[in-house]
Structure 1
């Protein structure tokens, strides 16, 4: 890769979000960093008087936890009158004493305008990295398009009525595989700590990895960063299944969601761009030049925002029903650009990591999730292991 340009257990869980001494006031030596992210899309119509208990896996540890509520696809204001953060014990049950109410401008409820996102006040106490955070929220009057992330690869829970303040699982009898009305969580960290946002499609979203075990490739990357003691600790998974670089469809295109889903997240130092296969296999006449232009626009906008950009080659997908020789030719041309262009600060060669040595157009069977497009758990780990951690540093961290 080219060098970057300058620029749990119950014992552990019991201490998460515990009521402790107030978090220190923010100062020149600290800043906010995203510890979890999931791009929002439209999830159908909201249901009034329904509560959601959303299970999330953090990456960067820190204090002053804040959550970002999303009504990005709503056509009317959204009232959330009960939002809580705690720590998962098992299932929908929380560790006793860990659940605390979040506020918004000091108030226990908030009204999120149509099309908007909104951050909570910081919550005193420290949250470790690699924790199973649980955010519970309730809307008395949800209606119209609901915003959230459809393919969570994680079991969360639902209840009728407001039971967010309860730590038991008694009323949380429903299950959902989506995250509703929430698209980011941030913590306060030392100023040298940064984050990487992975802008991608269903491969980044984790399809074909094992649900509830956090085996998406960004999860493996977060664990590598933690173990390496890197200054980049936050990892935001901004993948949407079916997403394209150039055209809206399964969520807004990467070009159209870049600002909200990536550049607006606090502490992001590096944008990791891994998209394009859906543009190719859709057979809409997208050329290599079209995709390259899209990549260049994303990189330029990220650079203008002071971020580094790591590009990734498009992985092989021969055997998938929409593969053909024309799409393969475009893929090869685009990958040559990724490997040789100065548009990116660095690149990761996912094509080389995943392809079979016997058929370079096809994924290695041992890494194939079974559909010849999405890697399995081993493939996800191989992808994360291929990322040069030093390329995510983006030069020297802030003083």
Structure 2
């Protein structure tokens, strides 16, 4: 029996104008990284927030950083009521090629079968997974800026919160959610670092700049881009591995593998600059060019975002500032991107353009607060996200 999966109270189901032409689109994503050691018999109840709505929801289980096969014997998805409690009747078992269990090989990921019913845009989707044999390196996303839950034993089918008492600020083993919708609907992937990841935005309130962008997209008639995948990883660099694989090394998995993506939003580079590793503007520009080339070869266009001000952060110096200015000039004027979002201009102080405007600064002079995140999203030209590769 086909059921409506998740429709928040008061939202009516809209008819799909593209029934004859449909495709899968990513509605949520998180950059994968190694995340400690797996624990045998542990369950995770993961709360994620969707962007695009549609039916035929699928999740992607990831064992990208595992060193052995990983079995999941029970996976469910439902709608959050509050905390770890689900809306009654919304929790549904997910299958994999018709089976209730799946073994994911080391270094790989697997999509679930489509789940009947419609998933509304802007939903708090709850994915509950259990593994009887997890061990070795776990795959996940460390800084979720959202509360999820951990338990020991299999409580995935439970809709109550009784078995889910331990909280976590990370997502484990799930790195993407997709829906099926009109072929006219596309998605944008934000490839970035801690600012994109949402550090210093308000936990559990979805106030990262890609969240604000998602809300703008849902309210706009200027574009048919509705899906937003946040592939920010705190500390990430363009050129070198460290906090996660570099943007160059994770592009295929964290961007190009997702369905329905129309545009890559590239906002990285500050960690390459401020780490004092001798990275030059030319090094970064070459890295950007490689990312643009590979994205266009995959049929995507690329929007480049200027690097924001960071004077006052403990790693700031005049040499790094000179690199930032040269890189930003390239992003603004080279014509090598399909579009430009000037985050530097949106965040900087008119009195000292090397510093962030205090009203937008969380206090560390590098990461914006909620108002700064919103200012960044407001600086994005929505129509430009519908571009075609040059």
In the alignment, is residue 73 of structure 1 matched against residue 65 of structure 2? yes
In the alignment, is residue 338 of structure 1 matched against residue 331 of structure 2? yes
261, 266, 274: which one aligns with 1:268: 261
What is the deviation of 1:343? 1.6
What is the deviation of 1:28? 5.7
85, 94, 108: which one aligns with 2:77: 85
**Secondary structure of 1:13's match?**
coil
**Secondary structure of 2:384's match?**
helix
What is the deviation of 1:13? 3.0
In structure 2, the partner of 1:6 is: none
205, 211, 227: which one aligns with 2:197: 205
Where do residues 125-144 of structure 1 align in structure 2 (5 Å cutoff)? 125-144=117-136
Q: In terms of mean alpha carbon deviation, does 223-232 or 264-273 score higher?
A: 223-232
**Secondary structure of 2:219's match?**
helix
In structure 2, the partner of 1:256 is: 249
The 1:15/1:40 distance shift into structure 2, 3 A limit, reads: farther
- TM-score, normalization: structure 1? 0.93
In the alignment, is residue 370 of structure 1 matched against residue 363 of structure 2? yes
1:44/1:145 contact within 8 Å kept: yes
Where do residues 18-97 of structure 1 align in structure 2 (5 Å cutoff)? 29-97=21-89
Where do residues 233-382 of structure 1 align in structure 2 (5 Å cutoff)? 233-382=226-375
2:7/2:120 contact within 8 Å kept: no
- Stretches of 4+ aligned residues off by more than 2 angstroms: 11-16
Q: Distance in 2 between matches of 1:348 and 1:140?
A: 46
Q: Distance in 2 between matches of 1:50 and 1:15?
A: 35
Q: Distance in 2 between matches of 1:207 and 1:328?
A: 22
1:15/1:98 contact within 8 Å kept: no
In the alignment, is residue 13 of structure 1 matched against residue 5 of structure 2? no
1:55/1:156 contact within 8 Å kept: yes
What is the deviation of 1:342? 2.1
Q: In terms of mean alpha carbon deviation, does 225-234 or 193-202 score higher?
A: 225-234
Q: Distance in 2 between matches of 1:334 and 1:367?
A: 23
In structure 1, the partner of 2:179 is: 187
Q: Distance in 1 between matches of 2:47 and 2:10?
A: 17
366, 378, 387: which one aligns with 1:394: 387
**Secondary structure of 1:225's match?**
helix
Q: Distance in 2 between matches of 1:352 and 1:394?
A: 22
What is the deviation of 1:92? 0.2
1:291/1:334 contact within 8 Å kept: yes
Count how many residue pairs are aligned between Structure 1 and Structure 2.
Answer: 380
What is the deviation of 1:141? 0.8
What is the deviation of 1:12? 4.7
- More relative contact order, 1 or 2 (CA 8 Å, 6+ apart): 1
Q: Distance in 2 between matches of 1:51 and 1:27?
A: 37
Q: Distance in 1 between matches of 2:115 and 2:7?
A: 19
Q: Distance in 2 between matches of 1:13 and 1:85?
A: 15
Please list the CA deviations of residues 323-371 of structure 1 after superposition, one character each: whole Å capped at 9, or x if unmatched: 0000000000000000011220010100000000010100000000110
Q: Distance in 1 between matches of 2:383 and 2:288?
A: 22
Q: Distance in 2 between matches of 1:75 and 1:60?
A: 33
90, 101, 107: which one aligns with 1:115: 107
**Secondary structure of 2:249's match?**
helix
Q: Distance in 1 between matches of 2:374 and 2:281?
A: 28
Note the aligned Cα RMSD (angstroms).
Answer: 1.7
- TM-score, normalization: structure 2? 0.95
Q: Distance in 2 between matches of 1:27 and 1:120?
A: 22
In structure 2, the partner of 1:7 is: none
In the alignment, is residue 224 of structure 1 matched against residue 204 of structure 2? no
Q: Distance in 2 between matches of 1:14 and 1:280?
A: 46
**Secondary structure of 1:228's match?**
coil
81, 96, 117: which one aligns with 1:104: 96
What is the deviation of 1:159? 1.0
What is the deviation of 1:319? 0.5
Please list the CA deviations of residues 129-180 of structure 1 after superposition, one character each: whole Å capped at 9, or x if unmatched: 0000000000011000000000000000111100000000000011000000
